Amino acid sequence: MTAELEPAFARLHEWARQAQQGGWLSRADVQEMGRIERQNADELFAAGKPRPLLVGLFGGTGVGKSSLLNRLAGENIARVGAERPTSREVTLYLHQDHALESLPPEFPLARTRIQYHHDRQRRDIAWIDMPDIDSTHRANRELVFAWLPYIDWLIYVVSPERYRDDAGWKVLRERGHRHEWLFVINHWDTAEPEQYDAFVSDLAGAGIDRPRVLRTSCTIDCEEDEFARLEELIRNAIEQHGLEELKRLGILAKLRDLAQLSDDFRSRLGSEEAWQTVCGRIRERSGNILSRLRQSLAWSFALISGRFPEPRRGWRDKGGMRQRNIPAADELRAAIWGPQADSYVADVVNEAVVAAAENGVPVEPVERAVGVMARQVPGLVTEISLSRLRQALLKPGPAWQRALFRLTGALRRVLPAAAAAWAVYHLVTRFHAGTTGRGELLGLDFAVHSFVLISCAWLLPYLMHRLSKPSLRKAARRGLEQGAAAAIQQSEQELASVLEKLGEERRQLLLQLKD
């Protein structure tokens, strides 16, 4: 791989690996990196030395590729006809100054014939006769595709009878941008003029702009034979553009493939508009689901609060409460959260997955992030509800109610005592006055009025004390509901935070990919 392509490939590969770890790309997506051709003809020759332009003869069975190579070489260097019925080998024809350094493992030496020559005029070109692309032998097709990434120019050789074979046409469509192409209609002595026009028209339909089509005949003399132009076209291109520039065309094609793959990866992450739509739908739908969860928990809280006894004296009557079997913490946890609540949490994750899938955003990172948040909801709701329950039981009711309860409790003791003390005082003083002759003794009216006064002094504070006593059941229910509300609100905030972090991760990946 050239110094220009290698860093770009390495950067994209590292980016794809990070994206896969985050779930933004699947393993299959990352494996698409394998379709980027990293091979280069420079690898076949000694490093630091100039190499020739590799020109491949490509086509189906019986079109005359080997005959064309023999005619170029001026000798029989490639087996033809009955000697090569299955086209199982590759023949290389190159100048002796460009000895091959090594062949990749996918190029078996037993199927590679190398022929060196001494012609200085042909020094800058190496010709390669490849196996037939339409061969029924799988190994032959694999050898063709193994060689294609190393070739700079491809000469697509056809015959009048077979100028539209499916196998070669498929390669042309897939690799049309990766090579410089020349087209040769061989055996032209057996062709009709209309076939030339039909072939050119088919090439234009395949996206080949202004195709260069030559007509040759390697068996007998033909007036329209354009064999001499074949080498001339390539040699003129080398002289006009330079050998390095022509070889660079293949590198540019690989870079374009890399850029296209980068664009494909970018599209896998979805558009910014789609991402915002996903986040909005997740927040909206999860909010509705958590609201229903809160309503469902309210029914459970009503049942739980009914299990709390009302102490006879006050909410601080712990001895009495213990005797009435207050539910234990583990029992409360099991009563607060059950299978139905789990279904609501699962719905939050499912809705997030559906929103991502419907808007073309990777599902895995959304499902993973929302799933982590959702798994925290049961513990969050349970623990915060229990915490608020403890606080509510320690201080049931509002502060004014607790103050009134304490005040009336004191008054129901103080006022009757004060009224009784007043009555006793008057009773003693009047009795003393009566016995000494300085006044009359108190009668029945005083006794009745004293009884009424003392009774009212006791009854009114007593009734107010009972009415102002905070209810542990109401406090328990209120504490549980407040805890659930706080936990659900915290869950919604956590979900928004998770989506924000996920969005930032996505934006960072896109920025890295852009760089």
**Domain locations in the chain?**
49-249, 271-397+483-515, 399-469
CA-CA-CA-CA torsion sign (263, 268, 272, 273): positive
**Alpha-carbon gap, residue 272 to 264, rounded angstroms:** 15
pTM of the model: 0.69
The whole-number pLDDT of residue 62 equals: 81
Please, what are the averages of pLDDT over each run of 10 residues along the chain (515 residues)? 75 91 90 80 80 88 84 74 56 86 73 85 87 78 84 87 72 77 87 86 81 82 79 84 77 84 91 94 93 90 79 52 58 85 93 94 94 92 90 83 86 89 85 76 81 88 84 86 93 94 94 81
Report the candidate in 82, 253, 239, 223 with the shortest Cα–Cα distance to residue 154. Answer: 253
Question: Does the domain formed by 49-249 have CATH 3.40.50.300?
Answer: yes
**Alpha-carbon gap, residue 66 to 84, rounded angstroms:** 9
| Three-class secondary structure of residue 114 per DSSP | strand
- CB-side exposure of 199: number of CA atoms within 13 Å? 27
User: Could you tell me which residues come within 8 angstroms of residue 429 by beta carbon, excluding any fewer than 6 positions away?
Assistant: none
Q: How many CB atoms lie within 10 A of CB 4?
A: 13
The whole-number pLDDT of residue 321 equals: 41
Distance spanning both ends of the chain, measured CA to CA: 21
The whole-number pLDDT of residue 347 equals: 94
Q: Are 212 and 183 in contact (CB under 8 A)?
A: yes
**Alpha-carbon gap, residue 480 to 377, rounded angstroms:** 15
User: Could you tell me which residues come within 8 angstroms of residue 300 by beta carbon, excluding any fewer than 6 positions away?
Assistant: 335, 336, 338
Report the candidate in 317, 294, 295, 474 with the shortest Cα–Cα distance to residue 384. Answer: 294
| Three-class secondary structure of residue 207 per DSSP | coil
Question: Residue 470 gets which letter from DSSP?
Answer: P
Q: Are 49 and 31 in contact (CB under 8 A)?
A: no
Any idea how long the chain is? 515
The whole-number pLDDT of residue 376 equals: 92
Contacts 24+ apart (CB under 8 A), 374-378: 374/345, 374/346, 374/348, 374/349, 375/345, 376/491, 376/494, 377/345, 377/348, 377/487, 377/488, 377/491, 378/337, 378/341, 378/342, 378/345
Beta bridge partners, 90, equal 112
CA-CA-CA-CA torsion sign (237, 239, 245, 250): positive
Q: CA dist 219 to 60, 64, 231, 366, Å?
A: 18, 9, 18, 67
**Alpha-carbon gap, residue 327 to 346, rounded angstroms:** 29
CB-based burial, 227-255: b 16+ in 10 Å, e otherwise: beebeebbeebbeeeebeebbbebbebbb
- CB-side exposure of 382: number of CA atoms within 13 Å? 17
The whole-number pLDDT of residue 220 equals: 64
**Alpha-carbon gap, residue 331 to 336, rounded angstroms:** 9
Task: For Cα atoms 483, 319, 314, give the angle at the middle one, nearest 5 degrees.
Answer: 65
The whole-number pLDDT of residue 323 equals: 40
